[in-house]
Structure formats: C-alpha cells, structure tokens
Amino acid sequence: MILAILQARVSSSRLPGKVLKPILGEPMLQRQLERLANSKLIDKLVVATSEQTSDDALEELCHRLGKEFFRGDLDNVLDRFYKCAQKYHPDVIVRLTGDCPLIDPLIKEAELPSELEHVTPYIYNNEQLFRIGIFKNDVDLSHLRWTVDEKDDFDFVTLVYEELYPTKPNFTTADVLELCERMPSIKYINNCIKRNTGSKGVLNKNKGPLQGRKPSHVR
C-alpha cells in the first residue's frame, strides 16, 4: 500500500494559520487535498497534525471533508510520521507538507533536533540505511518558489488560483509555468524570500537538550 502522509499544523511561526487561510473561499489545505485526490497512485491519504488544541480546527476540517487524520507530537514531526505509519503498515510512504497547495499529482533513526522537526534530514544523513534518489526535471526550475511560508508566498498562490482554478480546477505544473510566462510580474511577488530558512534555522537547535538522546521510536 502506498500511504501519503500530509503534515500540517496551524501554529506556523512565519505565517500563523496559513493552512486555513482561504483561497477562493476555502482553506488552503482543502485546496491541496482537492489536488491530491487526483493522484492515481496513492492508496491512502492521511493528514498528520499535532495534539495541540490549536490544531483541533484541522481535525474538524478532515471530518467535514471525510479525510482520515492522525494526531501526534507537535515538534517531533518524525515521531508523528513514524506512529502514523505504524498504524497503517504501508509498503511505501509519500511525505507531503501542508504548505504546498500547487502540488501536482502527476509528478510524484533520528537524534538531532533538526532531524526530529523535519522528516527527511535523518534519511539524508544516513545514506547507508536508505536508498536515495532524485527526480530531476529536464529544465532547472529551482529559481521558482511555490511553497507557502510567508505572506508573499500566499499572495502568489492565491493569484495562481484566481487565474487558473475557475476554468481548470485541476491545473497542472505546466499551466502554472504558462501563467508565469503570460504574466511575468507574478514570478516576482515572492522571489525575494530566502529559501529553506526554516530548516536552516532549526540546525541551531542541534546543540539543544535533545542532542545525544536517542528517541525510543528509532530502529
């Protein structure tokens, strides 16, 4: 079974409540779930949020949309993923984040604090334990920023939805790229934001109290 785990929380430090901010009248997370529903490879999709009361609204949204959810540790996202995966016993896990509402369904053992707060660093730091590969596009699009961390990111995504969703709800990456060529100005809405500031910042936590303490869930 291919299990997609979508991590999401309301308490974002840079743009609080971003996953519930409305895009064309519905929460951003709902728009992302709409797009993920078009995947023909995912067998089960679960929203993994925290046990904090601030994320009760995400549980309510999942109930309303008929989506499965799992609640776990707020800061130890890796533990949240691990326990969610244990519940479903998947053959393959697809990691998704709730700040990527432009995701295209056609593409598709930690100790340090940075490895606990972010799911993939432990994998990259232990290449001998995992098979790691890279899906590389024919054209370098790394200069484009389609995630939502700041208000400018949300403004960009909202404009994309306003332009494409009314006539083609299942718009693709190619449609967004065509829009950026047709309306070059929108590419510059959020291009001044530094990339990966969240993951870079958390590296400073590696010297914190969690260093040297092996989580019991890591095998």
Task: Output the domain CATH number for residue 175.
Answer: 3.90.550.10
Number of domains within the chain: 1
In a domain, 210, yes or no: no
- The gap from C-alpha 214 to its chain's centroid, in whole angstroms, comes to 26
The pLDDT, as a whole number, for residue 194 is 67
Which residues lie closer than 8 Å to 212 by C-beta, 6 or more apart?
Answer: 111
Residue 112 has pLDDT above 60, yes or no: no
In a domain, 159, yes or no: yes
8 near 19, Cβ under 8 Å?
A: yes
> Which DSSP helix (H) or strand (E) runs through 32?
helix 28-36
Compute the chain's Rg from CA coordinates. 18
In a domain, 175, yes or no: yes
Q: For 146-161, what is the mean pLDDT?
A: 94
In a domain, 216, yes or no: no
Q: Could you tell me the residue range of the domain that residue 82 belongs to?
A: 2-196
Give the separation between CA 73 and CA 203, rounded to whole angstroms: 19
For residue 115, name the pLDDT band (cuts at 50, 70, 90): very low
- pTM to 2 decimals? 0.74
